[in-house]
Amino acid sequence: MRSIFGKYKFFILTLFGLSAVIVYLFFNALQPKKTLAIYQPSMVNPELVDTTIQYVKKYHTIADFSLVNQNGDTITQDDYDGKIYVADFFFTTCPTICPIMTKNMADIQEQIKDDPEVLLLSHSVTPQIDSVAQLKKYAIEKGVDDSKWNLVTGDKKQIYELARKSYLAVKDDGDGGPYDMIHTENFILVDKERRIRGFYDGTKKEEVDQLLEDLALLKNSYKD
């Protein structure tokens, strides 16, 4: 018996190795491929969604927009055409969650600085306060890379409608005037087709780490 094994040892070991590889590949092929959800208004907390679209279950995308960034440049959806991006809502005088969110967004900026497929977009919810000059000052203080990250201000109604009808990420301040907003800690992952692919708590490192993992998964999906 030993002599037979010795004679065919190389063949047996090779066969065993090939069998192990085949089993491994077969097992992996049977595993469900992880994909990111495509979020619709009906899937999100109604407090964050305008009442006119809470029923929508498919085909939701980010609307066209025209806002002004920290350099006084007009930023539109065309600047994000064919890009994956992370969006959020903030204001420069916020003393609570904004500094944490901005720091975490800056960490994301560091991770994507050499990636031409990914950009960042932060909307002011107090555009009457956050002028171009104010945004520029804030951008310099926080280390914003103008080529990767736009801080935008503009018409309050437009920002409100983007927040409530597109990004599904900001609460309505019912006690204030028209278009008053209470921003949340949400970071929103948007794909190249302007669809929402994830919501993340921008104040928590573990959720920012998850965002980066999902971003890599989303990028890979365009290679398949």
Q: How confident is the model at residue 203 (pLDDT cuts 50, 70, 90)?
A: very high
Give the length of the chain. 224
Q: How confident is the model at residue 22 (pLDDT cuts 50, 70, 90)?
A: low
Q: How confident is the model at residue 25 (pLDDT cuts 50, 70, 90)?
A: very low
Binding residues for Cu cation are 94, 98, 183
Residue 206, pLDDT score: 98
Binding residues are 94, 98, 183
Q: Average the pLDDT over 100-121 and give the result.
A: 98
Q: Average the pLDDT over 44-66 and give the result.
A: 97
Q: Average the pLDDT over 1-22 and give the result.
A: 54
For 131-179, write each residue's pLDDT tens digit.
Answer: 999 999 999 999 999 999 999 999 999 999 999 999 999 999 866 667 8
Residue 18, pLDDT score: 55
Give yes or no for residue 125 having a pLDDT over 50.
yes
Number of C-alpha atoms within 13 angstroms, CB side, residue 127?
18
Residue 178, pLDDT score: 76
Interior/surface letters 166-199, b for 16+ CB within 10 angstroms, e for the rest:
bbbbbbbeeeeeebebbbbbbbbbbbbebbbbbb
Q: Average pLDDT of the chain? A: 89
Report percent pLDDT > 90 for the chain: 80
Give yes or no for residue 50 having a pLDDT over 70.
yes
Give yes or no for residue 3 having a pLDDT over 50.
yes
Give yes or no for residue 1 having a pLDDT over 70.
no
Q: How confident is the model at residue 43 (pLDDT cuts 50, 70, 90)?
A: very high
Residue 29, pLDDT score: 44
Top-tier CATH class for 41-221: alpha beta
- 102 against 28, higher pLDDT: 102
Residue 33, pLDDT score: 67
Cβ atoms of 105 and 70 closer than 8 Å:
no
Residue 34, pLDDT score: 82
- Map out the domains of the chain as residue ranges: 1-31, 41-221
Residue 193, pLDDT score: 98
